[in-house]
Amino acid sequence: MALREEFEKQGIWLFKYRGNLPIIILVLGYALYIYKEYYPEAYFLQGDDLAMEACYEWLCLAICFSGLVIRAYTVGHTPRFTSGRNTDEQVAETLNSTGLYSILRHPLYLGNFLMWLGVGMLTGHIWFIVAFILFYWLYYERIMYAEEQFLTRKFGQTYTDWAEGVPPFIPSFKNFKKPSLRFSWKKVMKKEKNGLFAMFLLFALFDMSGEYVHGTTDYNMFLVYGCIATGVAYIILKFLKKKTSVLDEEGR
C-alpha cells in the first residue's frame, strides 16, 4: 500500500476514535500528577511554592478554556452537517471558509489541542508535556490528512483553491473573513455542552486528588462549584436535546 493510502487509512481509523484514544494519555497524566504530589522535588513545578502552583493551575485552566472558546466560536458560526462530533464517517454538506476557517483549516483541532494541553500541563512534568505535544501532532496529522482527502474528493478545485491560501493549524489572521452565518448559541449549547463540563470535572478531580494526597480539604471551590453547575447544565441540555426541540434551529 502506498504511503498516501496508508496515511489516509490510519487517519480514518483515528477519526473514528479521536474522542477515546486521548483518554489513555489523560490516565497517564493523572498518574504522573499524583506522583508529583507525593514527590514534588522530581518536577519543574515545586509543590511547596503554593502561590506559584496556584498561578500555574489558573494558567492551565485559561489555556483549556481558550480551546473551548475556539471550538464554541467555530461551531456557533457553521451550518448544519459541518464541524460536527460524528465519528462514523466524515460529513460535510458545505465547505466552511469564513470565520476561523478563513485563518486556519482545522480550528476545531486547534481547540481540542489547547483543551487537552491545559489538562496535560497540570502534571507539571515537562517531558510529559513535550511528549503530549508530539503525540498530538502525529495523531491529528493523520486525521487532518484523511479529512482533507475527503474534502478534496467532495469539493474538488473549490477546496484546493481555498486550502492553498489557508494554513492547516497555525492561524494567519491577515485573511480573516467575517463569518457568513450569525452566531448560534443554541448550536453551541447542543454541540459543546460536553466540553465545559469535562473541563471543570477534570480540573476539580486533579485539584481534589492533590489535596487528598496531602491530607487536606483546601479545595479550589471555584472548580468545585463550576463542576456542579456545568454538570447540572449538561443534564438539562442533554434532556432538552433528546426530548424537546428547544435547541433546534433551522439550518443549524
Is the distance from CB of 236 to CB of 64 less than 8 angstroms? no
- Kindly state the DSSP code that residue 208 receives in the 8-state scheme: H
- Write down the CATH number for the domain with range 3-180: 1.20.120.1630
Could you read off the pLDDT tens digit of each residue along the chain, which spans 252 residues?
566 778 778 777 878 777 777 788 889 989 988 888 887 765 655 545 667 778 889 999 999 999 999 999 999 998 887 766 565 556 667 888 899 999 999 999 999 999 999 999 988 888 889 999 998 888 888 889 888 988 898 899 999 999 998 999 999 988 899 998 999 999 999 889 899 999 999 999 999 998 898 888 889 999 999 999 999 999 999 999 898 988 888 877
Is the distance from CB of 122 to CB of 57 less than 8 angstroms? yes
Three-class DSSP category at 11: helix
Is the distance from CB of 118 to CB of 63 less than 8 angstroms? yes
Give the DSSP letter string of 139-202. Answer: HHHHHHHHHHHHHHHHHTHHHHHHHHTS-SSS--GGG-B--SS---HHHHHHHSHHHHHHHHHH
Q: Could you state, in order of their start, the residue ranges of all structural domains in the chain?
A: 3-180
Distance CA 182, CA 91 (A): 21
